[in-house]
């Protein structure tokens, strides 16, 4: 967005960067980039190094930061503070992680059924990624089952996701490969179930991406 448009929006909806306090913008891309650490991709199945010796059918998961500190604060502002512009900045900031990855589509993890959220935070991130990487966004998945939001519970206390947790909402024409995107990845279970729904729809997931990586990765 141009500076003038930013300023105009600020007059209507005053916003400041939650990290540096600059007015007339939401989160600066520079500030979001400052939170990212140069993490190597991990195996989505075991969170070990990728390529993985144990899981030859796995795909790499890229992430920007551990789910703690300022990065966690930004995720919470995006999700619970309803500041969608943060998601776009995060997507732009994260795009360098996928610089070497080619795919036909970027697919966000959808909102849970009956979610009270005003928007899908993962889709906001994908919009930023899509703008930078020139890979189209395809919001082609939906939840197939009603499950309670997973964020606050410890991973070990969660019910396992059913095999058919997701379904295809539509079949994007000409799409053979995709990158799955979520705001936070904690166990990899959500991404793996989404990947199997896409696979059944004829789309191979070549990589996944989240802004932050939670417990399983943090403590391994
Ligand atoms: Zn800033
Ligand atoms: Zn593995």
Q: Express each pLDDT in 136-172 by its tens digit.
A: 999 999 999 888 765 545 555 566 888 899 999 999 9
Q: How far apart are CA 216 and CA 155, in angstroms?
A: 8
Instruction: State yes or no: pLDDT of 65 exceeds 80.
Output: yes
Query: CB within 5 A of ion ligand 1: which residues?
Result: 17, 19-20, 22, 28, 31
DSSP H or E segment with residue 62? strand 60-66
Cα separation, 220 vs 215, whole angstroms: 8
pLDDT over 90 (residue 134):
yes
**Residue 219 pLDDT greater than 70, yes or no:** no
For residue 218, pLDDT over 50 is answered with no
51 preceded by a cis bond (ω within 30 of 0): yes
| Ligand 2 centroid from CA 42, angstroms | 8
Where does the pLDDT of residue 220 fall: very low under 50, low under 70, confident under 90, or very high at 90 and above? very low
Side-chain-side CA neighbours of 58 within 13 Å: the count stands at 21
Per-residue DSSP letter, 137 = B
Q: What angle do CA 17, 75, 27 make, to 5 degrees?
A: 15
User: Which residue, chain included where needed, has tokens 């696979």?
Assistant: 199
Indicate whether 41 pLDDT > 70: yes
| Distance from C-alpha of 203 to C-alpha of 176, rounded to nearest angstrom | 5
29-219 is classed CATH 3.40.50 = yes
**Which DSSP string corresponds to 149-187?**
--TTS-GGGSPPPPTT-EEESS--TT--EEEEEEEEESS
Q: Is the pLDDT of residue 53 over 80?
A: yes
Taking the domains of the chain in order of start, what are their residue ranges?
A: 29-219
**Gap from CA of 26 to ligand 1 centroid (Å):** 8
Which ligand number lies closest to the CA of residue 43?
2
Residue 200 CA to ligand 2 centre (angstroms): 22
Structure tokens at 150: 């997973």
């Amino acid at each position: 967005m141009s500076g003038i448009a930013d300023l105009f929006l600020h007059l209507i909806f005053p916003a400041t960067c939650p990290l540096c306090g600059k007015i007339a913008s939401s989160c600066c891309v520079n500030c979001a980039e400052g939170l990212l650490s140069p993490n190597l991709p991990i195996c989505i199945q075991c969170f070990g190094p990728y390529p993985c010796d144990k899981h030859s059918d796995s795909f790499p998961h890229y992430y920007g930061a551990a789910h703690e500190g300022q990065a966690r604060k930004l995720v919470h502002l995006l999700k619970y503070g309803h500041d969608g512009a943060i998601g776009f900045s995060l997507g732009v900031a994260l795009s360098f992680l996928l610089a070497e990855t080619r795919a036909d589509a970027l697919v966000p993890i959808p909102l849970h059924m009956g979610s009270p959220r005003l928007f899908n935070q993962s889709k906001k991130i994908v919009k930023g990624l899509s703008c930078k990487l020139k890979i189209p966004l395809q919001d082609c998945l939906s939840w197939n089952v009603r499950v309670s939001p997973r964020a606050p519970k410890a991973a070990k206390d969660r019910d396992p996701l059913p095999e058919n947790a997701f379904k295809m909402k539509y079949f994007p024409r000409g799409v053979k490969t995709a990158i799955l995107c979520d705001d936070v990845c904690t166990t990899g279970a959500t991404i793996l179930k989404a990947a199997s729904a896409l696979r059944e729809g004829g789309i191979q997931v070549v990589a996944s991406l989240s802004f932050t990586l939670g417990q399983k990765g943090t403590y391994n």
